[in-house]
Every structure is written in C-alpha cells, then in structure tokens.
Amino acid sequence: MKFELPQLPYALDALEPVISKTTLEYHYGKHHQAYITNLNNLIPGTKFENADLETIVKESDGGIFNNGAQVWNHTFYFLSFSPKGGGNPTGALAQAIDKSFGSFDAFKEQFSAAAATLFGAGWAWLVKNADGSLAIVKESNAGNPLRDGLTPILTCDVWEHAYYLDKQNARPKYIEDFWKIIDWSVVGARY
C-alpha cells in the first residue's frame, strides 16, 4: 500500500516556543516525508507490498524496517502533541503510572533520564506490558517496542534532528520542554 504523510492536528508554528516552526518544517516536512517516500519506493515487489504499517514494523528487516518504523514512530510522536498540552495524565493511565513508578514526577524523572542518556540516535518509550504495568525502554535508531510485543504509550525522539535547530546540543533542555506539549488525552487513550 502507498503511505502518505499524516495531517497534523495543529499548525506548524503552534508548538512554539517548545518546538519551532522551522524544526517542524524539517522534522515533519522533510525527515518524516523522506521515510515515507523511501518506504513507498522499497516495498513494491516484496512481501510487504500490501502490508499495513504495523505488520511492516513487526516483521521486516533492513531498509524496509528502518524506514517503516521511522514512519510509524514519527506519526506516533507528532500526534502526541498539542499547543494546549502539558499538565498531568488522568484516569487509568495516571493510576498505572502511580502504580508502576510511584508518582507522575518519579515517572517523568526516569523517562527524562532514559531519553537524556540514550547513546546516539533513538527513541525513549513508555510502554504497557501484557499485565497492564508500565515500563520505560530505550531503543536505538528506528527501534520500536511493538517488536517485543509491548504496547507503545508515549515516545520521545532523541535523534539530533528533533532538537538541534532549536536547542543545539542541549538534549536535556529539549526533554524538559517536551512535557509542556504532551496531549495527555491522546496519550491516555493509548493505555
């Protein structure tokens, strides 16, 4: 199937000053688009030609995996944000965070540390285990926890292209600001 860049539920300048319009023009408009274009060019004539994106993420390898997972990861990441985001989760997700990490602040601290210490390019994830408990995992490059049977709830892209235009080398500052734009109604519905 042919994949397309998803529409964002906010304007490209709506996440400023946390994420600038320029960063979104490159990160969403060029990087995300390039992964989609590459995937569409790679799958014809393979067994993934008519596969949905989740199947590609779970079952492919090499270039098809790298581009397919980057498409999935970026869509999941960009759809987690709102200019009216921030604050705290509510409902079942909030209860699960308290149960698994002790408190929302403790979870934020552990997730931020995982994102800050991930070596090189990759993604920090909050995931749900089969028993409903939560965990934080670090994945390098295009890594995606769906491959381990986990349910992704939240992700932070720590590839340099996610923050370098706005924050240069200050990855911890990008992570600190990341919490201000999380749409917990969207993220909570994934639990």
Region of 5-13, 115-123, 138-146, 154-162 interacting with Mn ion (CB under 5 A): 154-162
Q: What is the side-by-side order of every strand in the sheet holding 122-128? A: 134-140, 122-128, 151-157
CA distances to 9, 29, 34 from 65, rounded to whole Å, are 26, 21, 14
Of residues 15-54, those binding Mn ion (CB under 5 A): none
Minimum separation from the CB atom of position 129 to Mn ion (A): 26
Give min distance, CB of 40 to Mn ion, in A: 18
48, 72, 159, 178: which one binds Mn ion (CB under 5 A) = 159
Note whether 157 binds Mn ion by CB under 5 A.
Answer: yes
Please, is 86 exposed, middle or buried when counting C-beta atoms within 10 Å of its C-beta (0-12, 13-18, 19+)?
Answer: middle
Q: Of 2-10, 17-25, 149-157, 174-182, which part binds Mn ion (CB under 5 A)?
A: 149-157
Residue 172 token pair: 């911890």
Number of residue whose CB is nearest Mn ion: 157
Tell me how far apart the alpha carbons of residues 98 and 104 are, in angstroms, rounded to a whole number: 6
Q: Which residues bind Mn ion (CB under 5 A)?
A: 157, 159, 162
